[in-house]
Amino acid sequence: MTPTLHHRLHVLEAADWKDGVITLLEPRSPYRPWRYAFGEARPGDFAMLVLGTDPVSVLTVLARVGDEGTIGGALLDPKGYRIDVVDLSTMTLMLNLNENAFTSWRLDDDDAESVILALHQSRIHGDPYHLRGHSSLVAARNLLRFNGVCRGCRREIDLSGADARDQVHVHTVDPYRRPEPHSPIRLGENDDPRQRAHVPWLRSEATDWPAVICRRCRDRMRDGGFTSFLDFRFAENPQCPRCGGRRTQDIVYGMPVDPESWEPWLSMGGCCPTDERQYCTLCDHSW
pLDDT tens-place string over residues 56-90: 999 998 988 876 655 566 777 766 677 889 999 88
| Helix-then-strand count for the chain, H and E | 8, 12
Q: Tell me the torsion sign for CA atoms 205, 173, 91, 261.
A: positive
Question: Which tens digit of pLDDT belongs to each residue from 271-287?
Answer: 889 999 999 999 999 99
Q: What pLDDT score does 174 carry?
A: 94
One-letter amino acid of 21 = V
* C-alpha separations of 194 from 83, 180, 183, 190 in Å: 38, 17, 13, 12
Spatial separation of the C-alpha atoms in residues 9 and 105, rounded to whole Å = 9
Average pLDDT over residues 110-138: 84
> What pLDDT sits at residue 111?
85
Q: How far apart are the first and last CA of the chain?
A: 77
Q: Is the pLDDT of residue 200 over 90?
A: no
Per-residue pLDDT at 2: 52
Choose from 1-5, 48-52, 88-92, 112-116 the range with maximum mean pLDDT: 48-52
In this prediction the pTM is 0.84
**Band (27; pLDDT cuts 50, 70, 90):** confident
Give me the pLDDT at residue 83, please: 84
Least confident of 63-67, 154-158, 199-203: 199-203
Average pLDDT over residues 241-245: 94
Other Cβ atoms less than 10 A from the Cβ of 204: the count is 8
